[in-house]
Amino acid sequence: MAARARWTDWLGLVRSNRHYRRFLLATIVSFMGSAVHVVGAAWLILQLTGQSYSVPLLLLISALPGILFAPLIGSVVDRRHPRRVLMATDLVSAIVVLVIPIAAVAGRLAGWELYVVEFVLAFAGQFYLPASRVLVRSLVTDGELLLANSTTTLIYQLGIALGALGGGLLITATSPVVALAVNGASFAFSLACFATLPESAPAAGGSPVPGGIWRDFLTGVGLLRDDGVARHLFVLYLVLQGAHRFLTSLLAPLVHDALRQPAAVQGLLQAVYSGGAVLAGLMIPVLVARSGWRATLLLGTLGVALMIGLFALARSLWFALPVYLVLAVLVQLWVSYQTAAQLRLPASAQGRVFAAVGLVQSASGVLIFAASAALLRLLPVQLVYAACAALVAVASARSLAVLWNRPVAVASVS
């Protein structure tokens, strides 16, 4: 991005690149359907089991495929056409999720079936993210990658916000089963969009074999080991992703215990967070172009830690809302770290690199949710937020120090 970067540059990219435009259409519909599904699945499992612990158990099951299958995922993404991987992912997801409405109509729906469906959907979803990132890189130039990644994140968040809102209304008017059927239809629509995109050559070629899967995975690990700048960029990426998970798990207790507000306020704060993430999609390319990488590094690490600490002090909704909005914008700076790391690494190994990073991300997600539950049993929610702020600062300190005097910027984002 040049120094004259503008807030509206994303419009020019979308208008000029019809293949990327179709990708965005598939993405927003798919994420709207997935957000509807999240709301519907939570209510459905409560109806089927009558147990409150069934919801976090569902989340835990959905986190397992990222840990169990990371080597396979990276190998497949790099050896197959990303478009075909995404089409297969959507096809499998559509078939699996539609099992629930069919079983409900037949009067044979049980709780265990939803757990199995969530596991398979999460497994398919693990292919979706790295394959979509590889596909985006093939649809745009290196100079457009940061703008494309930021715009894609904007669309993600917009789809999630619209889907969560629509999902609640849909379930109120109909049933959770209908919400899951809508998600199945969204997967079918996404598949149709991907089918119209051009084919790009597979990076490595051939099919992964059992012995080669681990070699492929270790190749991704080796690339991160050999490129210290990319490795530390991904560390900062993981820190901000972890901060997002902490915020997700702590929001309801803060609203209930500190703000003493009803559940509707949690929905309002979540909507504000999504709005901040959409705003970040517009701001990030401009911020990097005009302020440089040092400002971006500081805002995405120390800035996030500071805003989490401020959020812990919230005692009123009017204080919490603007702080949470700014926090959402800063957390999304992970997009810039991801993009800079992508541009430092060979395109032919992107899937394997993201699989290695995804393994750490999935494992850390399980630890973060477990730590949040444990800390909330011992400490007031405000102190847990303060601990989260300190952890963000400490976890990012070494990488920030390493990157501070190193040439992080690349031509396309300088």
Count of all residues that appear for the chain in the document: 414
Average pLDDT of the residues of the chain:
82
385 or 221, higher pLDDT: 385
294 or 148, higher pLDDT: 148
| Weakest-pLDDT range from 48-57, 89-98, 277-286, 349-358 | 48-57
213 or 279, higher pLDDT: 279
Helix then strand then coil, % of the chain, to nearest 5: 85, 0, 15
181 or 164, higher pLDDT: 181
pLDDT tier, 193 (very low <50, low <70, confident <90, very high otherwise): very high
Which helix or strand (DSSP H or E) is residue 218 part of? helix 210-226
249 close to 143: Cβ distance less than 8 angstroms: no
pLDDT (0 to 100) of residue 88: 94
Give the percent of the chain with pLDDT over 70: 89
346 or 265, higher pLDDT: 346
144 close to 343: Cβ distance less than 8 angstroms: no
pLDDT (0 to 100) of residue 107: 77
Residues sharing a CB contact under 8 Å with residue 350, sequence separation 6 or more, in sequence order: 77, 78, 130, 133, 134, 137, 203, 342
d(CA 244, CA 181): 29
**194, 132, 331, 60 alpha-carbon torsion, rounded to 10°:** 100
pLDDT at 190 over 90: yes
pLDDT at 2 over 50: no
pLDDT (0 to 100) of residue 411: 39
Give the percent of the chain with pLDDT over 90: 21
pLDDT at 200 over 60: yes
131: number of Cβ within 10 Å:
28
pLDDT (0 to 100) of residue 393: 93
pLDDT (0 to 100) of residue 267: 63
192 or 257, higher pLDDT: 192
pLDDT (0 to 100) of residue 412: 41
pLDDT (0 to 100) of residue 26: 95
pLDDT at 31 over 60: yes
Helix 70-79 × helix 111-139 angle, to 10°:
40
Instruction: Note the pTM of the prediction, 2 decimals.
Output: 0.78
Could you tell me the sign of the dihedral formed by the alpha carbons of 243, 245, 250, 252, in that order?
positive
326 or 282, higher pLDDT: 326
Residue type at position 113: E
**303, 305, 309, 310 alpha-carbon torsion, rounded to 10°:** 20
142 or 59, higher pLDDT: 142
pLDDT tens-digit series, residues 209-262: 445 666 766 777 788 888 888 899 999 999 999 898 888 777 767 777 778 876
pLDDT at 263 over 90: no
DSSP 394-409: HHHHHHHHHHHTS---
| Weakest-pLDDT range from 115-129, 214-228, 261-275, 302-316 | 261-275
Rounded mean pLDDT, 321-336: 91
292-297 CB contacts, 8 Å cutoff, 24+ apart? 292/409, 292/414, 293/340, 293/403, 293/408, 293/409, 293/414, 294/404, 296/333, 296/336, 297/236, 297/400, 297/403, 297/404, 297/408
Rounded mean pLDDT, 64-75: 75
318: number of Cβ within 10 Å:
8
d(CA 175, CA 177): 5
pLDDT (0 to 100) of residue 392: 92
d(CA 278, CA 276): 5
Residue type at position 33: G
pLDDT at 110 over 60: yes
pLDDT (0 to 100) of residue 413: 40
